[in-house]
Amino acid sequence: MDLTAFLKELCAAPGISGYEHSVRDLIRRAWEPLVSEVRVDPLGSLWATRHGSGKAPRPKIMLASHMDAIGLMVTQIAGDFLHVTSVGGIDARILPGQLVTVHGRSALPGVVAAPPAYLLPADAQEGVTPLTELIVDTGLPGDKLAEQVKVGDVVSFAAPARELQGGLLCAKSLDNRAAVAAVTRCLENLQGRTHVWDVVAVATTQEELGVIGARTSAFALRPDLAVAIDVTHGSGPAAKDLPDKTYPVGGGPTLTLGPNIHPALFAAFTALADRLEIPHTIEVTPQHSGTDAFGIQVAREGIPTMVIGLPLRNMHTPVEVVSPKDIERAGRLLAEFAAGLTADYMDTLKIDA
């Protein structure tokens, strides 16, 4: 797999939270040749299982990466224009001037526009234009627009991916298609290798709305261990002095430590990364990790869970930036960990270790 080309393809697909079908189909095509079986759960999460060599019933490890993306939803058709609200966390500051696609009866190109300040209500004329005052312009007159679009239709960002200097990639929806690519690389790395455990790759739905797909998938699959792979805040010009909150893009994945993380898994991943000489940094999350890990960790009687982060600049914007090298490293780390799990591993895993 050409990783950069695959990332561009993943990020071009819309897949807004709750409407992930287009990106799910793309991921399914990539995963099916690499696993033993694939299925879609009732909420739309994709489960891809690669059977292990151990005696059934085998223990299983769940590798979870959410496939949904933030976006917009039509709330009103006002003449020739659309009013929208957010699906997931969007900062209104980044919206004016954005290219978008309106997913109505067909895919309509559009732009997000901010009316001139003097045309806005008095309390909205200074500072950031509120989302309620922004409009989406497709160029269609009102009667034609109403034939093509209805309230509730979703709107996705349409900025094209761009390769930057230093081997970096800029694209929309790298949160969290970058992690989907890391899991895909893991499955590729497991080809031709024997592993005792079942490995279940899960592309989860609706993470941006409350880790919903992770909760239902973990409950149904009941894995013995789980790893959530997600993006984390990458350091940049506006965040270079936040060493406890941002991490170097291109410096390798982050290994997360905190209440959502099983301490023995953190220790095992750290030791493995050191042994493999995979660059990494430690990310401390003293509360909710903000990832699928929380939903997985508390499923059923509790599931030992780890989080691997991919440093990303400009999170929740159409110009997110990652280093494909970090994705390659994360994929290798995941594959080596899964391949190294022994039949009695759970007997050695202690919460107080």
- pLDDT tens across the length of the chain (353 residues): 899 999 999 999 999 999 999 999 999 999 999 999 999 999 999 999 999 998 889 999 999 999 999 999 999 999 999 999 999 999 999 999 999 999 999 999 999 998 877 677 777 677 788 898 899 999 999 999 999 999 999 999 999 999 999 999 999 999 999 999 999 999 999 999 999 999 999 999 999 999 999 999 999 999 999 999 999 999 877 666 666 789 999 999 999 999 889 999 999 999 999 999 999 999 998 888 889 999 999 999 999 999 999 999 999 999 999 999 999 999 999 999 999 999 999 999 887 75
Give the pLDDT of residue 185: 98
Note whether 3-69+172-348 and 71-157 share their fold. Answer: no
User: What's the predicted TM-score (pTM) here?
Assistant: 0.94
Q: Using CA atoms, how far apart are residues 72 and 152, in angstroms rounded to an integer?
A: 9
pLDDT number for residue 133: 87
pLDDT for position 337: 98
Query: What is residue 184's three-state secondary structure?
Result: helix
Cite the active site residues.
207
Q: How far apart are CA 98 and CA 301, in angstroms?
A: 45
pLDDT, residue 243, reads 65
- Distance (Å, rounded) from C-alpha 151 to C-alpha 153? 6
Domain boundaries, the chain: 3-69+172-348, 71-157
Kindly provide the b/e burial profile for residues 80-89, where b requires at least 16 CB atoms within 10 angstroms of the residue's own CB. Answer: bbbbbebbbe
pLDDT of residue 241: 60
**What is the per-residue pLDDT for 127?**
76
Maximum pairwise Cα distance, the chain: 72
Q: Which CATH superfamily is domain 3-69+172-348 in?
A: Zn peptidases (3.40.630.10)
Question: Per CATH, which fold does 71-157 belong to?
Answer: Elongation Factor Tu (Ef-tu); domain 3 (2.40.30)
Q: Which helix (H) or strand (E) holds 102?
A: strand 99-103
DSSP string, 105-171: SSEEEEEEE---GGGS-GGGSSSSPPGGG-EEE-S--HHHHHHH--TT-EEEE-PPPEEPGGG-EEE
Element (H, E) at 316: none
Q: Return the bridge partners of 46, or none.
A: 40, 203
Identify the sign of the CA torsion 141, 145, 147, 150.
negative
